[in-house]
């Protein structure tokens, strides 16, 4: 099968499931989801990503990198262009992704080999840039992290809380909500740790961008175990993808949705049951042997839409 035929078949299949979800074949739970994807998981070309969204009837995108730069490093004029493009395609921005606190906690050394995206002293200016751009993009949600993990996290936990609280105050003053993402190599990797930090900083300006796959790779069973721990009112955004363990190395590996060990179907049913009102993003991560990011996302999106259509 040549590439053009493959792309067409995958596209038509996925689009068919999405059209069904919009009422042509009656699937009310599916149409209730605010589904999107992280644009640079398809391409660095925003307009091409928006055309991808249009093809599948998706009305939301999460923006992290544009034109091979973090969105926080684009100019305000470029961000205004982003907003005009999104408006022209009828697409809204769910979350503005930053690398806030993807750095070492002052006075500590990461347990792994992580390198700072930005040194600690640049974190406040980084948040300011994110706030300015979020205002233009008309989203109140800004994704953040929790510093690089250290050998004994409990020993510095209070420091993490203190540093994060200062940024939450800045966000609150600007009318923004910081969404903590649990991520491998961070101080917060799991749902348990996410819940702990959100409890320590009780603020309407701090919520969760929950990543079940990252929790899985950290050794947690994200559904139903991790999901049950979370305060659902604080979950505003969820990343969806799939993962499994390499049978030889036991290392985590990303897979197309439906091909791994994460119970995305059970999670989707729970979200319908709990009347989840936040957004969802397909954050593919899975890579095909040929390295084609768009085709990898098409595969995962097809799997995700198939699960959504089955949700009752």
Please, what is the average pLDDT of the chain?
91
15 has pLDDT over 50: no
The 10s digit of each residue's pLDDT in 155-178 is 999 999 999 999 999 999 999 999
Question: The CATH number of the domain where 54 resides is what?
Answer: 3.20.20.150
pLDDT value of residue 29: 35
pLDDT value of residue 31: 63
Q: Which ranges constitute the DSSP H helices of 138-263?
A: 153-173, 191-200, 212-217, 227-229
Note whether 62 and 20 are within 8 A (CB).
Answer: no
Residues in Cβ contact with 105 at an 8 Å cutoff, skipping those fewer than 6 apart: 120, 147, 148, 150, 156, 159, 160, 163, 187
pLDDT value of residue 32: 78
Predicted confidence band of residue 3 (pLDDT cuts 50, 70, 90): very low
pLDDT value of residue 65: 96
Angstrom CA distances, 174 to 54, 101, 142, 167, 206, stand at: 32, 19, 12, 11, 13
The 10s digit of each residue's pLDDT in 67-82 is 999 999 999 999 999 9
Residue 41 CA to residue 192 CA, distance in Å, equals 27
Is 192 inside any structural domain?
Answer: yes
Is 186 inside any structural domain?
Answer: yes
Three-point CA angle 246, 252, 253, nearest 5°: 75
SS3 245: strand
Q: State how far Cα 191 lies from the chain centre.
A: 14
Is 201 inside any structural domain?
Answer: yes
The 10s digit of each residue's pLDDT in 17-53 is 444 444 433 333 356 799 999 999 999 999 999 999 9
Mean pLDDT computed over 90-94: 98
Residue 217, phi-psi category: left (phi > 0), alpha (psi -120 to 50), beta (remainder):
alpha
The region of weakest confidence among 45-49, 291-295, 307-311 is 307-311
Encoding tokens for residue 310? 């089955």
The 10s digit of each residue's pLDDT in 241-276 is 999 999 999 999 999 999 999 999 999 999 999 999
Element (H, E) at 50: helix 46-55
Is 115 inside any structural domain?
Answer: yes
Q: Which ranges constitute the DSSP H helices of 174-225?
A: 191-200, 212-217
Number of domains in the chain: 1
What are the phi and psi torsion angles at 104 (to 5°)? -75, 140
Percent of the chain residues topping a pLDDT of 90:
88
5 has pLDDT over 50: no
pLDDT value of residue 312: 59
pTM above 0.85, yes or no: yes
Residue 221 CA to residue 29 CA, distance in Å, equals 24
Is 53 inside any structural domain?
Answer: yes
Is 310 inside any structural domain?
Answer: no
The region of weakest confidence among 24-38, 46-60, 85-99, 195-209 is 24-38
Angstrom CA distances, 312 to 19, 56, 251, stand at: 17, 21, 33
Structural domain of 188: 32-292
pLDDT value of residue 7: 38
Note whether 166 and 123 are within 8 A (CB).
Answer: no
1 has pLDDT over 50: no
Is 304 inside any structural domain?
Answer: no
Mean pLDDT computed over 104-128: 97
Is 312 inside any structural domain?
Answer: no
pLDDT value of residue 4: 39
The 10s digit of each residue's pLDDT in 280-292 is 999 999 999 999 9
């Amino acid at each position: 099968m040549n590439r053009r035929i493959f792309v067409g078949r995958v596209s038509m299949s996925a689009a068919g499931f999405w059209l069904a979800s919009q009422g042509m074949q009656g699937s009310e739970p599916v149409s209730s989801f605010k589904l999107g994807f992280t644009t640079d998981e398809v391409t660095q070309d925003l307009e091409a990503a928006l055309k991808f969204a249009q093809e599948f009837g998706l009305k939301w995108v999460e923006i992290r990198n544009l034109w091979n730069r973090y969105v926080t490093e684009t100019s305000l004029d470029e961000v205004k262009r982003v907003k005009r493009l999104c408006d022209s395609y009828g697409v809204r921005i769910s979350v503005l992704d930053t690398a806030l606190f993807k750095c070492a906690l002052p006075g500590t050394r990461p347990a792994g080999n992580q390198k700072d995206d930005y040194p600690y002293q640049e974190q406040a200016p980084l948040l300011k840039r994110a706030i300015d751009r979020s205002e233009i993009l008309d989203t109140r949600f800004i994704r953040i992290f929790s510093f690089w993990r250290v050998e004994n996290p409990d020993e510095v936990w209070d420091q993490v809380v203190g540093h994060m609280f200062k940024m939450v105050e800045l966000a609150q003053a600007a009318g923004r909500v910081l969404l903590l993402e649990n991520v491998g190599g961070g101080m917060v990797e799991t749902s348990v740790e996410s819940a702990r930090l959100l409890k320590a900083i009780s603020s309407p300006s701090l919520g969760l961008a929950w990543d079940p796959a990252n929790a899985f790779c950290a050794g947690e069973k994200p559904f139903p175990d991790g999901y049950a721990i979370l305060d659902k009112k604080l979950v505003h955004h969820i990343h969806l993808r799939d993962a499994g363990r390499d049978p030889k190395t036991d290392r985590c590996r990303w897979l197309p949705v439906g091909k791994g060990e994460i119970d995305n179907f059970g999670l989707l049913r729970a979200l319908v049951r709990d009347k989840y009102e936040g957004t969802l993003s397909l954050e593919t991560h899975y890579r095909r042997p040929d390295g084609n990011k768009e085709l990898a996302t098409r595969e995962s999106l097809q799997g995700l839409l198939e699960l959504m259509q089955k949700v009752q």
